[in-house]
Amino acid sequence: MSSVRRRTVLAAAAAASALAGLPTAASAAPSTPTAVTPRALPGGGDLGPNVIVFDPSTAGIQAKLDQIFAQQETAQFGTGRYAFFFKPGTYSGLNAQLGFYTSIAGLGLSPDDTTINGDVTVDAGWFNGNATQNFWRSAENLALVPVSGTNRWAVAQAAPFRRMHVRGNLNLAPNGYGWASGGYIADSRIDGQVQPYSQQQWYTRDSVIGSWLNGVWNMVFSGVQGAPAQGFPNPVYTTLATTPVSREKPFLYLNGTEYRVFLPEKRTNASGVTWGNGTPRGTSLSLSQFYVAKPGVTAATLNQALTQGLHLLLTPGIYHLDQPIQVNRANTVVLGLGYATLVPDNGVTALKTADVDGVRLAGFLIDAGTVNSNTLLEVGPSGTTTDHSANPTTVQDVFVRIGGAGAGKATTSMVINNRHTIVDHTWLWRADHGTGIGWDTNRADYGLVVNGADVLTTGLFVEHFNKYDVQWNGERGRTIFFQNEKAYDAPNQAAIQNGSIKGYAAYKVGANVTVHEGWGLGSYCYYNVDPTIVQHNGFSAPTRSGVKFHDLLVVSLGGQGQYEHVINETGAATSGTSTIPSTVVSYP
């Protein structure tokens, strides 16, 4: 970790000169020290040692890729964080294997500006062919020409595949077709076939595909040209022709020799990719408008940069915070590279935004600290009702972890108060393995709490919380795709009892909500500490005409615990030890 970069200050003036010509010094007014003022922080600068940039003439690219992969392949809870960037051009003979906390991206405005004749590979050899723990890695803004005609991307949660062009097929399963539990694709073009094979669930948004091979439990598409037809529950496809509102994630690119950050514009009723027909629509910011943060910087300095009017670019590494990062200015961008990780110390909240338009939060991980935080991320203050429909806040590839890398606690992971916020791909995870885990050791009652109206979530993954994984109180909320596992480690039925109800629903819509809608939502249980635990339902909502759900499922994994119903009192109980979903196509 680099040395601490602290706020620097101007020295205060200590004395004033006596006025010339006065008869005695005693008649002069006493001097007053000037105020201590922080020196302005610079924008721009280098991206640090863990951002590794290649161009087509760079020697030893494969060796560098292999070196980082060897370090990161099994480092599930390690401290290494890396981002590979490829300048526009053509690269041949590469196989970029991605381990934990590793991102790869092109630096063009379009994926087709940067072509790799080769592969970007995620496989599960490190875990005996089981891909269910291939978390925290990403690929963005590249064109791939796979050597065999098929690129392998066998990932689980928190592993986005964005703005990619695969000139061939895309295989989402590990070698040997072992277990797999992902995943997310957006703004991508797959010329050939997407082949999930053993993938349990997947969400694809605003993309173009040649075809889609199969599905296991829950495959959801919105705005995907070439998607299979609606078929749930057999086949397991939930297909929406468009995505109601979307705005793609900001990304770093090169304009000549200048680094800039592109900000894609908002789309409504979107379908297909944002690139490929001329310059993408949106605006861009020079890197000089960003404070380029390095690990070790203080929260006070990050907040000083924001107060100055700078945006934040978080280079790869771990950032300890003794106060919240406070985003108060409209249209502020906070962009992380290489899974930059925020750790709130002493029970603080990692990041808060004000009730302003157009904030973009993207590409970072929040790791709960050892002292309980009431919240880890707050979008907007409590009680706000401001209309942000023209320019919403977006939260994209922002992930939360409680435990796993060590004991961590947080009452609520993410709270959305601002209206019209779009949460586009998140994984909120109370860890079920690693270190510092246990029913009370990494206590975390709630994953996502939505209080704001008109909030949209696309690609929502929330797992293992002690109470409600999702609590939705705001009006007119919408969710397209939800994946959940209830907490494995509940010690007994009494520990999860919710008054007279057996267990807390995975997704709870508040009793006063009159309008809400969800598509393609799944909850799974695996109560391995006490397999006799019964969960009353996966989903709970008021029964009224404006509250609608489409394509719901609950699954008992190997009979370790059971669901009595899918939603409220509707839907059959799960069936013994058979890992077969119980489904509801439409509710009410």
User: pLDDT tens digit string along 110-147?
Assistant: 999 999 999 999 999 999 999 999 999 999 999 999 99
pLDDT at 428 over 80: yes
DSSP run (H or E) holding 307: helix 299-308
User: Rounded to an integer, what distance in angstroms lies between the CA atom of residue 181 and that of residue 237?
Assistant: 16
Q: Please tell me the predicted confidence (pLDDT) of residue 548.
A: 98
Q: Which two tokens stand for residue 116?
A: 């790799």
| CA 458 from centroid of its chain's CA atoms | 11
Q: Within 17-125, where are the H helices?
A: 61-72
**How does residue 395 score in pLDDT terms, banded at 50, 70 and 90?**
very high
Q: Residue 489: is its pLDDT beyond 80?
A: yes
Burial class (CB in 10 A: 0-12, 13-18, 19+), 26: exposed
Q: pLDDT digits over 68-93, tens only? A: 999 999 999 999 999 999 999 999 99
Taking CA atoms, 161 is separated from 139, 187, 238, in Å, by 5, 9, 20
CA atoms within 13 A on the CB side of 549: 28
Q: Give the span between the Cα atoms of 319 and 297, in whole angstroms.
A: 7
Tens digit of each residue's pLDDT (9 = 90 or more) over 442-458: 999 999 999 999 999 99
Number of CB atoms found within 10 A of residue 187's CB: 26
Percent residues over pLDDT 90 in the chain: 93
Task: Yes or no: say if 118 and 141 are a contact pair by the CB < 8 Å rule.
Answer: no
**Mean pLDDT of all residues in 487-515:** 98
Of residues 12 and 502, more confidence is placed in 502
Contact 288, 294 (CB under 8 A): no
pLDDT for position 26: 35
> Residue 540 half-sphere exposure, CB side, CA atoms within 13 Å?
23
Give the percent of the chain with pLDDT over 70: 94
Using CA atoms, how far residue 415 sits from 321, 347, 349, 412, 437, in Å, is 19, 16, 11, 7, 23
Determine the pLDDT at residue 18: 29
Residue 306 has what pLDDT?
Answer: 98
Residue 282 CB burial class (10 angstroms; 0-12, 13-18, ≥19): middle
Q: What is the mean pLDDT of residues 539-561?
A: 98
- Letter string b/e over residues 223-251, b meaning 16 or more CB atoms within 10 A of that residue's CB: bbebbbeeebbeebbbbbebbbbbbbbbb
What confidence score (pLDDT) does residue 35 get? 60
Predicted TM-score (pTM) above 0.85: yes
The pLDDT, as a whole number, for residue 27 is 34
Per-residue pLDDT, 277: 83
pLDDT of residue 13: 28
Return the pLDDT at 24.
33
From residue 226, how far is each of 140, 223, 258, 275, 436 by CA, in Å?
Answer: 21, 9, 37, 17, 44
316/318 Cα distance (integer angstroms):
7
Count CB neighbours of 531 within 10 A: 15
The torsion of the CA quartet 97, 103, 106, 110, rounded to 10 degrees, works out to 110
- Cβ–Cβ under 8 Å, residues 309 and 337: no
Q: Output the pLDDT for position 449.
A: 99
Query: So what's the pLDDT on residue 73?
Result: 98
Per-residue pLDDT, 278: 80
Residue 4's SS3 state is: coil
Q: Is 485 a catalytic residue?
A: yes
For residue 34, pLDDT over 80 is answered with no
Going by C-beta distance under 8 Å and a sequence separation of 6 or more, which residues neighbour residue 307?
A: 328
Show Cβ contacts of residue 504 under 8 Å, excluding neighbours closer than 6 positions.
467, 468, 469, 496, 498
Given the residues 140, 378, 463, 485, the one annotated as active site? 485
Token representation of residue 110: 């379009």
Token pair 């999702």 in the structure block, residue:
470
- What is the mean pLDDT of the segment spanning 359-372? 98
The amino acid that residue 411 corresponds to is T
Instruction: Return the pLDDT at 6.
Output: 27
Q: What is the DSSP string of 355-394?
A: S-S--EEEEEEEE--SSPEEEEEEES-TT-----TTS--E
Average pLDDT in the chain? 94
Q: How far is CA 18 from CA 14, 35, 129, 429, in A?
A: 13, 20, 81, 66
Q: How many Cα atoms within 13 Å fall on the side-chain side of residue 182?
A: 35
Say how far apart CA 319 and CA 182 lie, in whole Å. Answer: 27
Q: Counting every residue, how long is the chain?
A: 588
CB 141 within 8 A of CB 114: yes
- Whether the per-residue pLDDT at 7 is higher than 50: the answer is no
In this prediction, residue 36 carries a pLDDT of 65
Are 534 and 564 a contacting pair, CB within 8 Å?
yes
CA distance 116 to 253: 17
Whether 264 shows a pLDDT value over 70: the answer reads yes
pLDDT of residue 33: 52
Tokens representing 467 are 């109470």
CA neighbor of 533 nearest in space, from 566, 498, 570, 503 = 503
68: helix, strand or coil = helix
Taking the CA atoms of residue 501, residue 504, residue 506 and residue 512 in that order, the dihedral angle to the nearest 10 degrees is 70
